[in-house]
Structure 1
């Protein structure tokens, strides 16, 4: 039997069951649980912030040194090399040459060996720096001599190139070298001659020579300094047999000062003067 409409209307106003009232009844524990979760989250965030701050303030542990990436060919040459690329022949009247640790150019992976003699601060003695770069079989366009000198000065030496001047070329037993007048600066200033090889292929040589007491060195002094360079045997083998026969500005002036034969110094000068006086006597 179907219910009457009035009966349906009356049922809509009947009190809800106990289950429905439980669902709508506010629970007093829910705000307490939410507050506890918020407190735990805040404590966790504060702890992470403290850890991050301590790590930022603590000094970084020292990292193990690793060689910069370089070409595989350069790495094979480095392993095969058992001797420095260059040395300076010792001169008893000058300070002992100092061999610097080999370095690697991070840009092209080439090995660079440097030898220095004297010091920038000791103006009573010349200051010589020579660097050999193992170019190998790669022929790459190099930077200008000015850029090379700027990099050498700033590479752990605390120097800067203040200005450059007149350029030239000097002959040595290692071939021609481009030169430029250079003023190096640190606590003081020194007038130097920067140089770079022009004819060498397997190795490139650059550096500078600073004069004494604020004076710039002469071209002959630069040639004589370069002539003292002794290259590694494997590098010398690529230079050819004519290296000993190459003309040098240093050797040319030494030969002129020596005079005829193998006589040197004041003996040759005295003999030349005596010969001139004898000739004048005969003409009278």
Structure 2
């Protein structure tokens, strides 16, 4: 049996069962969105004001100074090393005290002569306060390059044989080096090996283009006088080493004097005997 046509359009009961939209829910959602937008806008304004507004001035205060800094300032009144000017034609020239900002080590230097005065030796000595720290340092070549370029306008263009020379301050590593500026000079660079409280390095350039002898290097280092506090830290035993300068002098003096006297006295005795016979 076919349904009646009016039954197909009579669905009022079905539409009554469907859920109806709640207008209050839409209003609440809209309010939340508006509140979120206002909050975001407010935070953006605050961030912009902080970025544009200058920071409030802060009161300046003296940076903290450790007691070590005061001790170093007092120690700067006494140079780490000086150079005796005995039998020296040119007086020693002390350099300014420097502080290494990286490790806090102090450096004092003294020189004698000048690079362009080829008729006189050119000596440079630098003492570094190691502070009792046994830290590995740079190589002797790197040290010489730094000393040459540090306000002296020099460069190390060649190095040669290496060796060790004995001094009253212990053993020193040596290396033949050619320094260059307007001209060239043959020099010997050196660095202390046995000292702990202080490190000493430098060079000695010979005269008229000649390289200095090892004994000349040892004699130059023996002329160093260390500061009182450095000597106390090293101890007396460290300053009484056998020096190549003293050993060669002691070996040369007796041989020369004995030989010259013996040769000179022999003819005199023979001449006296001949005179008596006549």
3-state secondary structure, aligned to 1:171: strand
Shift of 1:101: 0.6
3-state secondary structure, aligned to 2:116: coil
Aligned with 1:132 (options 127, 130, 133): 127
Tell me the distance in 1 between the aligned counterparts of 2:231 and 2:108.
15
Aligned 8 A contact 1:170 1:219 in 2 = yes
Rg bigger for which structure? 2
1:145 counterpart = 2:140: yes
3-state secondary structure, aligned to 1:213: coil
Shift of 1:106: 2.9
Aligned 8 A contact 1:170 1:179 in 2 = yes
Counterpart for residue 227 of structure 2: 232
Tell me the distance in 1 between the aligned counterparts of 2:201 and 2:104.
17
Aligned 8 A contact 1:74 1:110 in 2 = no
Normalised to the residue count of structure 2, the TM-score between the two structures is 0.68
Where in structure 1 are there 5+ consecutive unaligned residues?
Answer: 1-70, 261-265, 279-284
Distance 1:258-1:156 versus aligned 2 partners, 3 A rule: same
Distance 1:209-1:137 versus aligned 2 partners, 3 A rule: same
Tell me the distance in 1 between the aligned counterparts of 2:213 and 2:82.
22
Q: Deviations over 1:208-258 (max 9, x none)?
A: 000000000000000000000000010011222224531000000111122
Which of 225-234 and 86-95 deviates more?
A: 86-95
1:256 counterpart = 2:246: no
Shift of 1:272: 4.5
Aligned 8 A contact 2:169 2:240 in 1 = no
Counterpart for residue 163 of structure 2: 168
Distance 1:75-1:211 versus aligned 2 partners, 3 A rule: same
Distance 1:201-1:74 versus aligned 2 partners, 3 A rule: farther
Aligned with 1:181 (options 176, 180, 189): 176
3-state secondary structure, aligned to 1:152: helix
Distance 1:185-1:231 versus aligned 2 partners, 3 A rule: same
Tell me the distance in 2 between the aligned counterparts of 1:268 and 1:94.
31
Aligned 8 A contact 1:74 1:109 in 2 = no
For the aligned residue pairs, the C-alpha RMSD in angstroms reads 2.4
Distance 1:195-1:276 versus aligned 2 partners, 3 A rule: farther
Aligned with 1:216 (options 198, 205, 211): 211
Counterpart for residue 270 of structure 1: 260
Aligned 8 A contact 1:126 1:210 in 2 = yes
Where in structure 2 are there 5+ consecutive unaligned residues?
Answer: 1-64, 269-278
Shift of 1:114: 0.3
Distance 1:205-1:268 versus aligned 2 partners, 3 A rule: same
Distance 1:272-1:144 versus aligned 2 partners, 3 A rule: farther
Q: Deviations over 1:59-93 (max 9, x none)?
A: xxxxxxxxxxxx95763442231310000000334
Number of residue pairs matched?
204
